[in-house]
Structure 1
Amino acid sequence: MASAADPGDSAASEFQAVGGRLERGLIWVFIVVPTLALLPAMYFAWGGWIGWHDLLLLVVFYVITTTGIGTGYHRCFTHGSFKSKRGLKIALAIAGSLALEGPVIRWVADHRKHHKFSDREGDPHSPWRYGTTAWAVTKGFVFAHAGWVLWGVDRAEPRHYAPDLLRDRDMAAISRHFRSLAAVSLLAPALIGGLLDRSWHGAATGFFWGTLVRVALMHHVTFSINSICHVTGKKPFEARDRSGNVWWLAILSQGESWHNLHHADPTCARHGVLKGQIDINAWIIRRSEQLGWAYDVKWPDQDRLGKKRTATA
């Protein structure tokens, strides 16, 4: 007789192969190839090889995937900042998968391990991994930004860090189908661009801007939360690590770069809690709550925040 844990066991087995040659090769392709596209992107944009279809695809797919990572993978699935109805849960998990940052269960497990050991031994991606000298921090910055993903060092064990998601049939199924969703993410902009422009040229530019440039921008904004936001930034709240707020990443990250508050109060659904701090993901959660799609939202508690303010804030 099949047990309720069968989907989780299958998903866990799937993740044991993440370190295989195919998976490792795909990770390198998803990160390196789009990054290499950023340099010609500036040349092509200057030369006019971009139309409104391309900009639309870039913005729409960027917002979908950034929401999937920030609102879904991060605030909902990793930290339980809110609970979601099944439809929203599935939509956020699929949107996060389209960001090509890995299956939802793998991502959540790694991030939970990061919080458990933040900026200490055991942290999968601390920029302070090698020490505090200039060279050590430089090497650590590169490692925290992308090296930890490329080389697969200190990855978390999903059975230990994400057993709740392994038991969730929806999350297990979406994680198992990550490769198929990755193919959709890579090819959909080209297909839509070709249909909108009714040409192979439209498909080519749609792929370039909607896939390559979008993925590169999305990845490096996300990676910057691990690297930049743990090296610099203001620290208005007491946290047990070096997390800081980096204002100029706020819009592109949809509020994830208000990182100091997040590490001071990880389950809080809003990261930008101070005046003038734009938090798009918190706005999305608020709208979802009003529509009845999200509930049990952990909004900021002013008394709790007051106790966490630093003396210099």
Structure 2
Amino acid sequence: MTRAQRYTNIAAVVLPFAAFFAAVIVFWNEAITWRDVIIMVTLYVIAALGITIGYHRMLTHRAFQAKPWVSYTFAIMGSMGVQGPVINWVADHRKHHAHTDEEGDPHSPHVGPASEGVLGPLKGLYHAHIGWLFSEQGRANRRKYAPDLMEDPGMKAISRNFHWIALGSLALPALLGFLFSGFTLHGALTGFLWGGLVRVFFLHHVTWSINSICHFFGTRRFGTEDHSTNVAWLALPSMGEAWHHNHHAFPRSAQAGLRGVEKAMDPSMWVINGLERLGLVWNVVRITPERQAEKQAQAGGAAAPVKQAA
């Protein structure tokens, strides 16, 4: 990781964090309006779906095929989440699946720091949540883990221009706040604060919680060789990604929520279903109940709570 990349990562973590506390402590009830909330939630959903549908299910796992302009649109939406260039993100995540919760996993809470001393679990959770960004993010070999994207000129262009897209995703809420407030500087500033920095803060920590919480606490029902878990209360803010144990059991599945209430709490799949009906995506991978039952039988058939995976 270059010095510039390291400083960029530090800024991407620290600035939204500082902005969140400034917004809550200093500006709450003084500098937030329904306009700001609408801008923040709308851009959060757009960027989150870009990460979950674009970066993750479509580009990392090829859970469905899509028209090129659809793929590029979701890659741009994901870049608005300020989590790194699309090719780097995909390479890191494929490396995670290749070495899940073993040496070589970029962000497991169960290897490296997690095995050292009494505070090992806390160190592991910190590493999986934030620490890996300063030591491992972007280090996966892109030619090895993402050769398909390296051969796609459109994806290379989007990845190369990530910083401009990220900056644009911060400028956009300021512009919207300016326009919707009647062309006021105050509207631009609060739009930037809530729809820009605070929105990035929330999306970052929800995404990073999949790396940390969803490999440490939660429930499991399938026979997998890792420590992945399902965490229901994270399902909606993560657009369904918190059904993470399901995902590790069936990585190519377009669905993370596989049954009952899980399906109702997988917003990313709602969108994929809609795109499929419009003919914009196809070959959507779904897991049959029979395959689920077979995989569940390997784990003894029970959904067991996990406090700490040993």
Residue among 110, 129, 134 paired with 1:150: 134
Is contact 2:114–2:125 with CA below 8 Å preserved after alignment? Answer: no
Cα distance change of structure 1 residues 250 and 153 upon mapping to structure 2, 3 Å threshold: closer
Deviation per residue, 1:114-152 (Å, 9 max, x gap): 000000011000001234564111101101101111233
Residue in structure 1 matched with residue 23 of structure 2 by the alignment: 41
Q: Is the 8 A contact 2:109 2:121 kept in 1?
A: yes
Query: In the alignment, which of 224, 229, 240 is matched to residue 225 of structure 2?
Result: 240
Measured in 2, the distance between the counterparts of 1:131 and 1:194 equals 47
Distance 1:86 1:151, change over 3 A: same
Instruction: Please name the residue that 1:300 is paired with.
Output: 287
Note the C-alpha offset of 1:237.
1.4
**Letter of the 1:269 counterpart:** A
TM-score, scaled to structure 1: 0.91
Tell me whether 1:187 sits opposite 2:171 in the alignment.
yes
Aligned length: 295
Cα offset, 1:153, TM superposition: 6.2
Matches of 1:300 and 1:61 in 2, distance apart?
31
* 3-state SS in 2 of match to 1:252: coil
After the TM superposition, which residues 244-259 of structure 1 pair with which residues of structure 2 at under 5 Å, given as runs?
244-259=229-244
Q: How far apart are the structure 2 equivalents of 1:110 and 1:46?
A: 37
For residue 54 of structure 2, the aligned residue among 55, 63, 72 is 72
- Paired residue secondary structure (1:242): coil
Q: Which amino acid aligns with 2:152?
A: D
Task: Verify the 8 A CA contact 2:48 2:238 in the aligned structure 1.
Answer: yes
- Deviation of residue 45 (structure 1)? 5.9
Q: 2:3 aligns to what? A: 21
Aligned pairs for 1:99-138 (under 5 A) are 99-129=81-111, 130-132=113-115, 134-138=118-122
Q: Distance in 2 between matches of 1:245 and 1:196?
A: 40
CA RMSD of aligned residues (A): 1.4
Selected match of 1:262 from 240, 247, 257: 247
Distance in 2 (CA, whole Å) between partners of 1:161 and 1:39 is: 37
* TM-score, with length taken from structure 2: 0.92
- Structure-1 separation of matches of 2:137 and 2:280: 37
What CA distance in whole angstroms lies between the structure 2 residues aligned with 1:36 and 1:120?
A: 33
Which residue matches 1:220? Answer: 205
Within 2, Cα distance between the matches of 1:83 and 1:209? 34
Q: Of 155, 160, 173, which residue of structure 2 is paired with 1:171?
A: 155
CA contact (8 A) 1:67 1:254 kept: yes
* Alpha-carbon shift at residue 157 of structure 1 (Å): 0.6
Q: Tell me by how many angstroms 1:185 deviates.
A: 1.1
- C-alpha separation between the residues in 1 aligned to 2:170 and 2:114? 38
Unaligned runs of 5+ in 1: 1-18
Q: Separation in 1 of the partners of 2:135 and 2:282?
A: 38
Q: Secondary structure at the match of 1:257?
A: coil
Look up the equivalent residue of 2:243 and give its one-letter code: W
Shift of residue 44 of structure 1? 4.8
Paired with 1:154 and 1:99, the residues of 2 have a C-alpha distance of: 16
Q: CA deviation at 1:275?
A: 1.2
Aligned residue in 2 for 1:200: 185
Amino acid at match of 1:307: E
The structural deviation recorded for 1:201 is: 0.2
Percent of counterpart pairs with the same letter? 44
1:23 shift after superposition:
2.2
Q: CA deviation at 1:46?
A: 3.7
Deviates more, 1:144-153 or 1:239-248: 144-153
- Distance (Å, rounded) in 1 between the aligned partners of 2:166 and 2:137: 23
Query: How far off is 1:81 after superposition?
Result: 0.5
Q: 1:122, 1:154 within 8 Å by CA — same for their partners in 2?
A: no
Question: Cα deviations across residues 255-308 of structure 1 (Å, max 9, x unaligned)?
Answer: 000000100110001011121111000111110100111101001222111111
Q: Name the counterpart of 1:139.
A: 123
Shift of 1:42: 2.1
